[in-house]
């Protein structure tokens, strides 16, 4: 803050010029002290808000690291909650598999939505799309799972990798669309005009100028959505279900996922399962954090480049 009040002027005339809206009484020193106390309270709010973050990171690292080993990373799930041993490899594979499917569906759709919103902003449809994209980010993820259950699982498809991937894709679309929209808006109009000046068609401008320019920003947007989707549990309960082995099939067999295994093993009363759940949480957090950090790093580069 560059603006600071001069604390030396504490004469009585000051009172007349203070704001009527706020409750002010007493001399300037008392008011100043009150302000400092309130500022201290606001700082306490920050500390209070960040305490859980510190506690989560500390506890997940502490308990996760003590249960994490090569066996955990390289072997599939132990069927027994009571016995020690086994890992979450099936969950990691399943999560990556479903997130990949979700990305294949959600990235083109999300980017196309954002492109339409920015490049065809004269369309009457655009405000509705923007509004409902925002609303869709707030749809409960478990409801997305229910929806996929009714159209895919129930109809005979059964629990499958595809069902899980589809559910995740529906959660990713609005996130990608919103974030991409901000990126595409950053592309300067000069570039578009230069292309039009060379005789380019609108679709050529979009495909050959706008999207390539926004490229790395679009990757950032997509990766943030991937990071979100990788940590989702609720929709997968109703679509992927879970599996104790590595499942290569796209359809016809339930699929495992890291968050699903953590959810199941944490809820029981058994210590070996709890230890694995902490290691799984560490693995999942590292995966999400890695994706988020890469996305942010690419994003900063883009902003600098544009």
Partner 1 sequence: MSSDANVFQRPAISRRGKSSEDVWFQRALALAGASVLIILAAMLISTTINAWPVFAHSGWSFITSAGWDPGISRTEITGSYGALSFILGTLITSGIALLIAVPLAVGCSLYLTNIARPTIGRPLAYAIDLLAAVPSVVYGLWGLLFFIPIFIRPVLKLIADTLGEVVPFLDGPVVTYNYATAGIVLAIMVLPIITAVTREVMSKTPIAEIQGAYALGSTRWEMIRAIVLPRARPGVIGATMLGLGRALGETVAVAMLIGGSEQMPTTLFQGGQSMAGVIAITFQEASPENIKALLGVGVVLFVITVIVNMVARLVIWATGGRIAGDAAV
- The interface with partner 1 within residues 239-278 (CB under 8 A) comprises 241, 259, 262-263, 266-267, 274, 277-278
Which of 27, 69, 80, 123 forms a contact with partner 1 (CB under 8 A)? Answer: 123
Which of 73, 82, 139, 305 forms a contact with partner 1 (CB under 8 A)? Answer: 139
Decide if residue 182 touches partner 1 (CB under 8 A): yes
Decide if residue 144 touches partner 1 (CB under 8 A): yes
Scanning the chain, the segments in alpha helix (DSSP H) are 13-16, 28-67, 70-74, 89-119, 125-137, 141-148, 161-186, 189-197, 202-204, 211-230, 234-237, 258-267, 271-305
Nearer to partner 1, 200 or 250 (CB): 200
> How many residues does the structure list for the chain?
306
Reduced to 3 states, what is the DSSP secondary structure of residue 40?
helix
Residue with tokens 């699982």: 153
Around Cβ 300, how many Cβ atoms within 10 Å? Answer: 12
Decide if residue 27 touches partner 1 (CB under 8 A): no
* Minimal distance, residue 98 CB to partner 1, in Å: 14
User: Distance from first CA to last CA of the chain, Å, rounded?
Assistant: 28
Decide if residue 202 touches partner 1 (CB under 8 A): yes
Decide if residue 304 touches partner 1 (CB under 8 A): no
Decide if residue 143 touches partner 1 (CB under 8 A): yes
Decide if residue 234 touches partner 1 (CB under 8 A): yes
Pull the structure tokens for residue 142.
Answer: 């478990």
Using the contact rule CB under 8 A, the part of the chain among 37-45, 75-83, 84-92, 243-251 near partner 1 is 37-45
Around Cβ 84, how many Cβ atoms within 10 Å? Answer: 14
Give the CA angle between residues 152, 91, 54 to the nearest 5°. Answer: 115
Using the contact rule CB under 8 A, the part of the chain among 27-35, 65-73, 76-84, 245-253 near partner 1 is 27-35
In this structure, what are the phi and psi dihedrals at residue 241, rounded to the nearest 5 degrees? 75, -45
* Minimal distance, residue 288 CB to partner 1, in Å: 6
In this structure, what are the phi and psi dihedrals at residue 255, rounded to the nearest 5 degrees? -120, 150
* Minimal distance, residue 82 CB to partner 1, in Å: 17
Using the contact rule CB under 8 A, the part of the chain among 18-26, 68-76, 82-90, 96-104 near partner 1 is 18-26
* Minimal distance, residue 37 CB to partner 1, in Å: 8
Decide if residue 125 touches partner 1 (CB under 8 A): yes
Rg (CA), the chain: 26
Distance in angstroms (rounded) separating the CA atoms of residues 61 and 278: 8
Decide if residue 35 touches partner 1 (CB under 8 A): yes
Taking CB under 8 A as the criterion, which residues in 151-180 touch partner 1?
151, 154, 170, 173-175, 177-179
Decide if residue 214 touches partner 1 (CB under 8 A): no
């Amino acid at each position: 803050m560059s603006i600071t009040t001069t604390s030396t002027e504490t004469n009585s005339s000051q009172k007349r010029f203070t704001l009527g809206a706020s409750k002010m009484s007493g001399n300037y020193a008392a008011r100043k002290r009150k302000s400092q106390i309130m500022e201290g309270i606001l700082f306490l709010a920050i500390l209070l808000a960040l305490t859980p973050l510190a506690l989560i990171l500390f506890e997940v690292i502490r308990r996760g690291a003590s249960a994490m080993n090569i066996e955990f990373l390289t072997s599939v799930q132990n069927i027994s909650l009571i016995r020690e041993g086994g890992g979450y490899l099936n969950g990691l594979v399943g999560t990556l598999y479903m997130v990949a499917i979700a990305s294949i569906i959600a990235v083109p759709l999300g980017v196309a939505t954002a492109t339409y919103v920015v490049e065809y902003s004269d369309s009457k449809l655009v405000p509705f799309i923007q509004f409902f994209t925002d609303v869709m980010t707030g749809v409960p993820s478990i409801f997305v799972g229910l929806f996929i259950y009714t159209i895919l699982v129930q109809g005979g498809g059964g629990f499958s990798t595809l069902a899980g991937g589809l559910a995740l894709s529906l959660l990713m679309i609005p996130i990608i669309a919103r974030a991409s929209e901000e990126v595409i808006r950053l592309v300067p109009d000069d570039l578009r005009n230069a292309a039009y000046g060379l005789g380019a068609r609108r679709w050529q401008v979009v495909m050959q100028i706008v999207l390539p320019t926004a490229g790395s920003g679009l990757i950032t947007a997509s990766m943030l959505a991937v990071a979100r989707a990788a940590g989702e549990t609720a929709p997968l309960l109703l679509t992927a279900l879970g599996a104790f082995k590595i499942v290569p099939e796209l359809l016809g067999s339930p699929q495992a996922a890291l968050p699903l295994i953590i959810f199941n093993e944490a809820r029981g009363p058994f210590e070996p399962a709890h230890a694995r759940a902490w290691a799984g949480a560490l693995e999942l957090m590292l995966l999400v954090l890695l994706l988020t950090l890469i996305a942010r790093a690419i994003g900063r580069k883009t902003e600098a480049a544009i």
